[in-house]
């Protein structure tokens, strides 16, 4: 799982950098919030989760670990796409807000699952 998280995080870093370069070259910073979420939630949090797996959890591939990984990815993708649509003014706020709300809750659930796995694993180690 550590490798999956690091590779996913680096993918988000590339996406965030491309968006940042676009904003700088176009001098249109409307997607600043989207860029920040891609870099922090997509890159930094994924990278930190990869470190947690590498340093404390090891190579676990339990169902809980898979649920945690995919919930983080689904939530992060939902937030990223939702924020891009919101700040690009492609759809009305009322249509995007539920997607952003659900995606945020999914990301929070993935954080709780990571904490549960960390507590469970370090208690037995």
Query: Each residue's pLDDT tens digit in the chain (125 positions)?
Result: 999 999 999 999 999 999 999 999 999 999 999 999 999 999 999 999 999 999 999 988 899 999 999 999 999 999 999 999 999 999 999 999 999 999 999 999 999 999 999 999 988 76
Task: Give the list of residues 6+ apart from residue 85 with CB closer than 8 angstroms, or none.
Answer: 91, 96
**30/7 Cα distance (integer angstroms):** 28
At residue 61, φ and ψ (nearest 5 deg) are: -130, 35
């Amino acid at each position: 799982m550590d490798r999956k998280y690091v590779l996913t995080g680096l993918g988000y870093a590339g996406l965030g950098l491309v968006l940042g370069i676009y904003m700088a070259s176009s001098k249109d910073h409307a997607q600043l919030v989207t860029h920040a979420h891609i870099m922090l939630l997509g890159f930094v949090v994924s990278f930190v989760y990869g470190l947690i797996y590498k340093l404390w959890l090891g190579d676990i591939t339990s169902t809980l670990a898979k649920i945690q990984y995919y919930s983080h990815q689904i939530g992060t993708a939902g937030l990223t796409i939702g924020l891009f649509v919101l700040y690009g003014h492609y759809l009305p706020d009322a249509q995007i807000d539920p997607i952003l709300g659900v995606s945020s809750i999914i990301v929070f659930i993935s954080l709780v699952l990571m904490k549960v796995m960390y507590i469970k694993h370090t208690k037995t180690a």
